[in-house]
Structure 1
Amino acid sequence: MNMTLVVSLLLGGAAFALFNAIFQVRFFEGTVRGFLDLLDTVADHLGKYNTKRYIARIKRERIVKRKENPVMKYNRLVEGLILDFNMPVTLESFTSLLCISFAIVALVIVFLMKSVTLSVVVTISIFIGILTWFVMQSKAIRAQDIENIMDAEDLICPLARDGVLVAIKKVMESDEYISPNIRVYFRQFIDNCENNGYSFRQAITLLNRQLGPKFDDFTKKAIVFEYNERKGMADIFLDIVDENAVLREINARKENIFRKMNRDFLIKTVIVLLFFIYALSVDDFRQYMLNTQPGKLINTLMICVICLSFARCQALQGNLGMGSDRK
């Protein structure tokens, strides 16, 4: 495509837009409306299909015990991401969006690389990298939630000798003591005990389910204390404060190690990319890497190595990481 043709196309497009604006002509109005109606119809059918799959999955999970396999691991991973990021979608809707995005990105890369096989490999690697990044952010959210729960426990435990409900109400008197992220759950616990007819065991169990496994120890001790209180038993809550102090120290050390791992990986990746971009300034190297099959294969391998190394780095951190899954 020479410069004359490019200029002619641009001038033609500008004249066409000006003609539409002056005379208010809508050449493609019917086409656009039909396309939007088609998209709306497809989205509606896809939504109904995902709803049926969601209902079938819930029924199946209530009847059949889950078996550990790649599908179950994927489902658990996505459900965790949806919960952590408060996404207004179901597992089925997320999977549909993921497949549509994968197909679009794959088509774009096929157009650029002119190779279906290499494009699929590159697309898979990119999506693994993107999913890993979301998992990394999810771990940060969970770590912060656990920190907020420990802060709340440290405030409630010393006051628990007058009763767990009384202690929580005292801490809730100030908006500064408990994080807004979990404050709503403690407010619901108080309402359940005082206004909604819940027993203490039912209310604290629901609170435990909302806050996650980190709150398990406090819940067990709170139930024992509430129904079997004896003199001096309130000191059992002070063990939680000591455990939280130790856990904070361990988490701080892990955080320093993980931060160094991520920083080293980022620095190495940036060095490789900068060297590659600089090397593209050489005409022969650029032609070889961008226009030949061996060069495209090398580019594909480089992208795969970067994305999979990033995923491996985060997987190692997940095996050693802080926190735990929500219930």
Structure 2
Amino acid sequence: MNTTLVISLLLGAAAFIVVNVMFNIRFFGGSARFILDIADTLAEHLGRYNTKRYVDRIKRERIVIQKENIYAKYNRLVEGLILDFNMPFTLESFTSLLCILFAVITLIIVVLLKSVSLSVVITISIFVFMLTFFVMQSRSIKAEKLESIMDAEDIICPLAREGVLVAIKKVMESDEYISPNIRPYFQQFIDNCESNGYSFKQAIMLLNRQLGPKFDNFAKKAIVFEYNERKGMADIFLDIVDENAVLRELNNKKDRIFRKMNRDFLLKTAIILLFFLYALTVEDFRAFMLHTNAGKVINTSLISIICLSFARTQVLQGNLGTGGASK
């Protein structure tokens, strides 16, 4: 494209903009409105479709026992992420969003690489990396919640000899003892016992469901203590404090190991990327890696290996897990 043509195009664009502004002409207004209307209609149809799928899934899960397969694992993973991050999505709407993002990112990479197969491979690797990153953050949220539950148990258990409800009410009098992220659940427990007509067993079981498996042991002992209280029985709660101390020590060791694994992975990845960027300063290497099919295959392989290695590292950490499962 020569200089004369570029200048002509720029002058024509400038004149077009000036005319539109001077005479208040909205040349693209109708087109933009038409495109927005189409997008709004598509979103509305997609929303109705996802709602129908959601209702059908809930009905099916109440009737049919779901088999353990890749779809069940995906559903459990996504529902866990939605819950942990408080996202305003259902499983179906989240999946639709992922599909749309997958298509958009694939198209962008196709334009850059001029290869559909390589673009799909890179997009899959990127999505595996993204999902793994969110799972890693979700695990951090769970670990923080677990720590908050143990802190609450450590304070409530020594006071339980006066009654579990009385102990929780005393602890709730101060904002310092129970973490804000689980405090509403304990307040709801008190309200259920005193104002909402729940029996103690119903209220503590609801609290157990809200707090998760880590609270199972406390809930079981609280029910036994509430309905079968005998002299000296309150000491059964002190075992929970001892278990929490052991669990904290175990989780701290795991945390140090995981931090070292992540740090080593990031360091190795950074070295590889820096070496690659430095090598791109060599003209022949840059031309080979960026403009030949063999170079594009190598780039795709590098990206895939890095993303999948990160996912593998996090899977290993997930298998070791964080303490606090049901006993």
Letter of the aligned partner of 1:121 in structure 2?
Answer: V
Q: Is the 8 A contact 2:160 2:166 kept in 1?
A: yes
Letter of the aligned partner of 1:157 in structure 2?
Answer: C
Q: 1:174 to 1:298 in 2, by over 3 A?
A: same
Q: Is the 8 A contact 1:152 1:178 kept in 2?
A: yes
Separation in 2, partners of 1:29, 1:294: 46
Separation in 2, partners of 1:323, 1:17: 64
| Matching residue of 2:129 | 129
Tell me whether 1:78 sits opposite 2:96 in the alignment: no
Letter of the aligned partner of 2:88 in structure 1?
Answer: P
| Matching residue of 2:111 | 111
Letter of the aligned partner of 1:124 in structure 2?
Answer: I
- Between 1 and 2, higher relative CO (CA 8 Å, sep ≥ 6) is seen in 1
Q: 1:295 to 1:221 in 2, by over 3 A?
A: same
The CA RMSD over aligned residues, in Å, is 1.5
Q: 1:159 to 1:15 in 2, by over 3 A?
A: farther
| Matching residue of 1:96 | 96
User: 1:16 offset after TM fit, Å?
Assistant: 3.3
| Matching residue of 1:260 | 260
Task: Tell me the secondary structure at the aligned position of residue 181 of structure 2.
Answer: helix
Q: 1:8 to 1:283 in 2, by over 3 A?
A: farther
| Matching residue of 1:275 | 275
Task: Tell me the secondary structure at the aligned position of residue 20 of structure 2.
Answer: helix
Q: Is the 8 A contact 2:81 2:135 kept in 1?
A: yes
Q: 1:324 to 1:159 in 2, by over 3 A?
A: closer
User: 1:10 offset after TM fit, Å?
Assistant: 4.6
Larger mean Cα displacement after TM superposition, 201-210 or 278-287: 278-287
Larger mean Cα displacement after TM superposition, 309-318 or 10-19: 10-19
Where do residues 101-250 of structure 1 align in structure 2 (5 Å cutoff)?
A: 101-250=101-250
Q: Is the 8 A contact 2:247 2:324 kept in 1?
A: no
User: 1:24 offset after TM fit, Å?
Assistant: 2.2
Where do residues 28-39 of structure 1 align in structure 2 (5 Å cutoff)?
A: 28-39=28-39
User: 1:115 offset after TM fit, Å?
Assistant: 0.4
Separation in 2, partners of 1:24, 1:40: 27
Q: 1:293 to 1:185 in 2, by over 3 A?
A: same
User: 1:193 offset after TM fit, Å?
Assistant: 0.3
Q: Is the 8 A contact 1:142 1:323 kept in 2?
A: no
Separation in 1, partners of 2:39, 2:182: 39
User: 1:20 offset after TM fit, Å?
Assistant: 2.9
Separation in 2, partners of 1:256, 1:304: 27
Under a length normalisation based on structure 2, what TM-score does the superposition of the two structures give? 0.96
User: 1:13 offset after TM fit, Å?
Assistant: 3.7
Q: Percent identity?
A: 74
Gaps of 5+ in 2: none
Separation in 1, partners of 2:319, 2:3: 56
After superposition, give the CA deviation of every residue in 1:208-249 in whole Å (9 maximum; x if it has no partner). Answer: 000000000000000000000010000010000010011111
After superposition, give the CA deviation of every residue in 1:241-266 in whole Å (9 maximum; x if it has no partner). Answer: 01001111111110011001001100
Q: 1:45 to 1:189 in 2, by over 3 A?
A: same
Q: Is the 8 A contact 1:213 1:324 kept in 2?
A: yes
Q: 1:13 to 1:174 in 2, by over 3 A?
A: farther
Separation in 1, partners of 2:31, 2:288: 43
Letter of the aligned partner of 1:101 in structure 2?
Answer: L
User: 1:157 offset after TM fit, Å?
Assistant: 0.4
Separation in 2, partners of 1:81, 1:21: 48
Q: 1:12 to 1:269 in 2, by over 3 A?
A: farther
After superposition, give the CA deviation of every residue in 1:106-133 in whole Å (9 maximum; x if it has no partner). Answer: 0000000000001000000000001100
After superposition, give the CA deviation of every residue in 1:34-70 in whole Å (9 maximum; x if it has no partner). Answer: 1101001000000000000000000111111111100
| Matching residue of 1:306 | 306
Q: 1:310 to 1:8 in 2, by over 3 A?
A: farther
| Matching residue of 1:46 | 46
Q: Is the 8 A contact 1:142 1:324 kept in 2?
A: no
Q: 1:219 to 1:250 in 2, by over 3 A?
A: same
